[in-house]
Amino acid sequence: MKIIHPRTAVVLHDLFMTWLAWMISYAIRYSIWADAPELNWFGLDFALVIVIQGTIAYYFNLYRGIWRFASIPDLVNIAKSAILGTIVIGFVLFLIYRADGLPRTVLLLYPVILMVLWGGPRLAYRVFKDSSLNIIQDKKIVLLVGAGRISDMFIRHAQASGLYHVIGIVDDSDKFKGSDLRGVKVLGKVKDIEKLAHKYNVQVIVIAQENPTTGQMKLIVDSSMSSQCKLLTLPDLDKITEQGFEISKLLPVTIDDLLGREKVSIDWSNVAKRVQGKSILITGGGGSIGSELARQLAKLDLQSLCIIDHSEYNLYQIDRELNEANSDLIVQSLLVNVTDKAHLFQVFSKVKPDIVFHAAAYKHVPLLEKMPCEGFINNVVGTKNIVDICNQFEIEKMVLVSTDKAVNPYSIMGATKRIAETYCQYINKQSKTDYIIVRFGNVLGSAGSVVPLFKEQIAKGGPVTVTHEDMTRYFMTIKEACQLIVQSMVLGSDGDIHVLDMGKPISIMSLANRMIGLSGKTPNVDIDVVISGLRPGEKLHEQLYYDVEELKHTSHDKIYHISSSLKQIDKYEEQLNQAIKFAINFKEPELTQLIKKLVPEFVHQASLSLVNRQKLVDGQKSKEKQQ
């Protein structure tokens, strides 16, 4: 049996409806007025009406439209076709027999009835296909979080775009209970996400709340973990206007969204004044922190920007990016190792920097435990070279990027960064250069940090390895850290140590579980979380300052000032020079013992027995509970 082509069916439908509209017009006319003449149901009048109206409908492309996507323009064409058809029909019948016996009322009723008979089935078909019982397969079923202005925009744009079908809304506010928004019902609260997701086969959960708090974000993520739904959030709220936003530009929820940190604002005008016309040099400019510092500073009115790094690939990447984005800025990218003092002297002689940011450092804790000499040479000797040359050239300011691992260090990495801090303070007392130290915790997404590792493990299907179930760390984003480093450069002077406000420490176990949840998987169901044990040099909890150090507020509410004095300053330089000799001659035991003298609080876990190591861990846990 041969199936009728859809377009042929549309033509037959419209011609039949044309005949029916003409008949109904006569029927209505003579049902109101008596003495109706006997009608010829298939006479010349009806044949002319079908031919004329069919031709005009073809002219207005009514047979080319797809009913599934019938819209306002289609209805406009239907109206034009019906009205023009009526005029032409009346004119032709008048020419043939002066329209004798044709009631004028019929010519008024006919186009109205025809528009209803043509447009009604088209709209009905679209409504039927768009109904919840007939969602097309390429639409994703969405559950919205938040019943407010943003949800209203989302539903409106979802209906227009055809990308999503909003099945319902959840909101913790009791005032929205049982209500609906543009026909979409509020189905429950955030805690009901898992149940609703399984009930309605939800594929995407969109967070449509304005400025959700940390607690709300964490609750949403935790409630969505077992749903295996994709979590999306809106673009920057500053970019959303009353006209809405592009629904295709929804962003995946990232671990950054769960930090719960307020948006950092710094005094860019003051920073710009301090660096205007200055020459700036950044060491480790190809790394996570150094490259972001370069991006931010390059936007200001500098005289020149010099970035040095010993990684050829990293240097090439940031050099290309900066030159493409800042055509008016003089950018010099130099392949230099900070441990090569002669090369550094040559660079400083040519570049003549006014301000130096020292971000070059080895930072992988377990790796440096195996290679303490390499860690010492890069982190201590490299810093000493930069500090000495800044002093020699009377550089205006030098900013050392430090770490929370320098406080009560358990690792070679932490101890070397603490020595770098103390050497800056030592030289500052005898130098015209202002040495500023900025100390902060882990940076999300930086090379070698836990977040990229977890992402890689999740992508491979697990397991995700957490070294200890009670481990916590301070986190901030790279952009936020660099903004505060730049601000510290403006605030700091006279050997200051600045500590950035890192917020509350985050549980690494919780971080792992939430990252798995954000990937659409369920922790310990789809992807296992395994406790692998503390690695060499790792601490359960990091500190941002020593107990004897007193935090003081600065003019920026995210930056604190620490004043601390050096101990054992008489033998400091002698011990440091001896340690450098041990390092360059790869005498690891002697170096480790001398590091302990330079940093008396240093506890080298590599030299501890397993029993004593566990006692330290238990002691940290006990101290944490007391606090």
Residues 361 and 462 in one domain: yes
Residues 242 and 387 in one domain: no
63 occurs within a structural domain = yes
Residues 125 and 192 in one domain: no
- Give the pLDDT confidence score for residue 340 in this predicted structure: 96
Domain count of the fold of the chain: 3
- Give the pLDDT confidence score for residue 129 in this predicted structure: 60
Residues 114 and 153 in one domain: no
Residues 414 and 481 in one domain: yes
- pLDDT of residue 262 exceeding 70, the answer is no
Cross-sheet strand order for the sheet of 304-309 = 330-335, 304-309, 279-283, 355-358, 397-403, 434-440, 497-500, 559-562, 551-553
- Give the pLDDT confidence score for residue 624 in this predicted structure: 44
Return mean pLDDT, the chain: 81
Residues 161 and 291 in one domain: no
One-letter amino acid at 32 equals I
Q: Among 97, 130, 163, where does a domain finish? A: 130
The 10s digit of each residue's pLDDT in 6-26 is 667 777 877 888 888 888 887
Task: Name which of 59-73, 155-169, 208-222, 317-331 the model is least confident about.
Answer: 59-73
- pLDDT of residue 513 exceeding 60, the answer is yes
- pLDDT of residue 68 exceeding 60, the answer is no
- Give the pLDDT confidence score for residue 184 in this predicted structure: 85
Q: Among 66, 96, 130, where does a domain finish? A: 130
Residues 36 and 156 in one domain: no
Question: Per-residue pLDDT averaged across 79-107, rounded?
Answer: 79
Name the pLDDT band for 134 (thresholds 50, 70, 90): very low
- pLDDT of residue 167 exceeding 50, the answer is yes
Highest mean pLDDT among 328-342, 507-521, 529-543: 328-342
- Give the pLDDT confidence score for residue 579 in this predicted structure: 95
The 10s digit of each residue's pLDDT in 358-382 is 999 998 888 999 999 999 999 999 9
- Give the pLDDT confidence score for residue 625 in this predicted structure: 47
Contact 222, 160 (CB under 8 A): no
User: What three-state secondary structure class fits 558?
Assistant: coil
Residues 368 and 240 in one domain: no
261 occurs within a structural domain = no
Task: Name which of 130-139, 253-262, 555-564 the model is least confident about.
Answer: 130-139
The 10s digit of each residue's pLDDT in 479-499 is 888 988 998 888 866 667 888
User: What three-state secondary structure class fits 217?
Assistant: helix
- Give the pLDDT confidence score for residue 154 in this predicted structure: 82
626 occurs within a structural domain = no
569 occurs within a structural domain = yes
Which of the 8 DSSP states describes residue 288? Answer: H
CA dihedral over 212, 218, 221, 222, signed as positive or negative? negative
Cα–Cα distance measured from residue 31 to residue 49, given in angstroms and rounded to the nearest whole number:
22
Question: Per-residue pLDDT averaged across 319-337, rounded?
Answer: 90
Question: Per-residue pLDDT averaged across 288-299, rounded?
Answer: 92
23 occurs within a structural domain = yes
Q: Among 253, 285, 302, where does a domain finish? A: 253
Question: Per-residue pLDDT averaged across 396-414, rounded?
Answer: 92
260 occurs within a structural domain = no
Contact 225, 513 (CB under 8 A): yes
Residues 225 and 209 in one domain: yes
- Give the pLDDT confidence score for residue 1 in this predicted structure: 37
- Which range marks the domain in which residue 160 is found? 136-253
Rounded alpha-carbon distances, angstroms, from residue 433 to 293, 493, 495: 21, 9, 9
532 occurs within a structural domain = yes
Nearest to 435 by CA among 359, 389, 380, 493: 493
Residues 587 and 457 in one domain: yes
154 occurs within a structural domain = yes
- Give the pLDDT confidence score for residue 67 in this predicted structure: 54
- Give the pLDDT confidence score for residue 211 in this predicted structure: 74
Burial of 388 (0-12, 13-18, 19+ CB in 10 A): middle
Residues 203 and 78 in one domain: no
Rounded alpha-carbon distances, angstroms, from residue 521 to 227, 252, 419, 532: 8, 14, 43, 21
One-letter amino acid at 611 equals V
For the domain that residue 534 is a member of, what is the CATH number?
Answer: 3.40.50.720
The 10s digit of each residue's pLDDT in 582-602 is 999 999 999 999 999 999 888
Residues 462 and 555 in one domain: yes
Contact 503, 437 (CB under 8 A): no
Rounded alpha-carbon distances, angstroms, from residue 385 to 348, 365, 413: 12, 23, 18
Highest mean pLDDT among 105-119, 125-139, 419-433: 419-433
The 10s digit of each residue's pLDDT in 275-292 is 999 999 999 999 989 999
- pLDDT of residue 235 exceeding 70, the answer is no
Question: Per-residue pLDDT averaged across 46-70, rounded?
Answer: 71
Of 260 and 361, more confident? 361
- pLDDT of residue 219 exceeding 60, the answer is yes
- Give the pLDDT confidence score for residue 368 in this predicted structure: 92
Question: Per-residue pLDDT averaged across 573-579, rounded?
Answer: 93
